[in-house]
Amino acid sequence: MKSTPGKKEDSKNILRTNNMKNKKKSKWQAKREKDISKRSQFDPKIHTLGREGEGFGMKKDYKATAEELSGKNLPFTTEK
């Protein structure tokens, strides 16, 4: 019987992504994340750093909770 070529390639991709998740961060990357989190709202649990500067974005696999989406942490007040 012939096996489909897609299954073997898919299993390699799954192994690659699992290895990337378990990979330890280098010292300079951990230091950079720590420095930027002091000066901004960067959170390494939910953000990824850009290659240069202090830019960051949301991680692809992060699922926000309803509490985070409610806007309770915004600086607006109800007083008028």
Output b/e per residue, 46-59; b: 16+ Cβ within 10 A.
ebebeeeeeebeee
- Biggest CA–CA distance in the chain, Å, is 75
Predicted model pTM: 0.50
Task: Dump pLDDT digits (tens) for 33-63.
Answer: 889 888 888 888 888 888 888 888 888 888 8
Q: Band of the pLDDT at 72, cuts 50, 70, 90? A: confident
